[in-house]
Amino acid sequence: MSDPVPPSQLRVSDADRALVETRLRRAVEVGQLELREFDERARLVWAARTRGDLDAVTADLGPLPSPEVTAASVHPARRDRSAVFSDTGGGTAMRVLTIIWACVLVVNVVTWAAVSLGTADLVFPWPLFVTAPGAVLLTLYVAGIGRPEEKD
């Protein structure tokens, strides 16, 4: 009969790897790891074949702080940033596109007004052409793209 396999040499499953990756994500949330370190360690986790390989990835992290200690409580700026990226349906992209469109519209209207006043003649209102992308953004928003999902 063969000798039993030491625990550190037992093969791991994808479920085991996913649990360790979740542990690494929590380490990022509480400030134990930076994103760059998380990426490196996550690659090691998914390449791991044994429990020993997985243990080596988290050996220096120690126990997690209590659940009430989060990145939001330790780093208020991280809370604000994570709220921006937690939108669903392209909310962040819609806000960025709307801000860009509004800036372009303002520049066009101010330029048109300056040209009209400078020539003492009401020139063709070309800023109307800039309203087309705004109409597209509004249509997407009305269709539900870029709006946060409604809570039940």
pLDDT digit string (tens) for 67-116? 554 545 555 554 444 444 444 556 788 888 888 999 999 999 999 999 99
- Rounded-to-10 torsion of CA 117, 121, 126, 128: 80
Dump pLDDT digits (tens) for 10-26: 999 999 999 999 999 99
Token look-up 């542990």 returns: 23
Of 138, 145, 26, 16, the residue nearest 90 (C-alpha): 145
